[in-house]
Amino acid sequence: MTDSQRAQATAARREQLLEAALHCFVVKGFHQTSMRDIATQAGVSLGSLYNHFDSKSALIAEIAQMESTELAPLEAQLTQPRGRSGILQFTRDYAALHQDAARLMLAAEVLSELLRQPDLAQPFLATRSRLVLTLAAALEQARAGGELAQGMAAPDLASLLLDAIEGHCIVKALARAQVPAERSTSRLSYLLEALLPPVVAKGHAPKQT
């Protein structure tokens, strides 16, 4: 086996183990899941699992890298000069990413552990910080191009937008039996439109996006 083949095999095995861990964390919960549970789910020996990940904390670090990779296309989307419409499209795509029930459950499990072990949070915070800065740059560009009204500082608005979307998705998941999906989606759309007002010339109605 060549070095390249060996590296590919290692990457494939780590992905297999990570998927098994994610499944166990969602189904059983982080603290209820043992390393043996993960090995069993992956169909490997416990020793094989430890060869790649020496603890569940190491798996959380891998989840942080996975999140960063998952968000990379959305970050790239923001670097395209598409003004307000591009930012609104980003917010819709970001919301869609956070509406998966399994993802929300995993996020809750990981967050609870990060609160117990704050040192594990750094990679997640770094990804969040990078996304906020990228979104803030897009907001400033849209303002400079006359497509977005002036308002609060762009980094603060960027952070608020992400908070609003994530919070909305959590509440939507909790209240899905009480609030129709269409109504919930409309609420989010109205909120995003309000946070991202276009520049309106005197005597003209706002342009619908």
Tell me the pLDDT tens digit for each residue of 46-93: 999 999 999 999 999 999 999 999 999 999 999 987 899 999 999 999
Cα distance between residue 203 and residue 209, in whole Å: 19
Cα distance between residue 73 and residue 66, in whole Å: 13
pLDDT of residue 131: 96
pLDDT of residue 1: 72
Cα distance between residue 59 and residue 148, in whole Å: 41
Per-residue CA distances from 140 to 63, 72, 83, 161 (Å): 31, 20, 9, 14
| 82 DSSP assignment | -
Pick out the chain residues at pLDDT < 50. Answer: 209
Fold of the 1-54 domain:
Arc Repressor Mutant, subunit A (1.10.10)
Same fold across 1-54 and 60-195: no
pLDDT of residue 209: 47
pLDDT of residue 4: 81
Instruction: Quickly list DSSP for 37-64.
Output: HHHHHHTS-HHHHHHH-SSHHHHHHHHH
| Domain spans of the chain, in order of start | 1-54, 60-195
Beta-carbon contacts of 184 under 8 Å, excluding residues fewer than 6 positions away, are: 168, 172, 175, 176
pTM: 0.84
Query: Does the domain made of 60-195 have the CATH classification 1.10.357?
Result: yes
Largest CA distance in the chain: 72
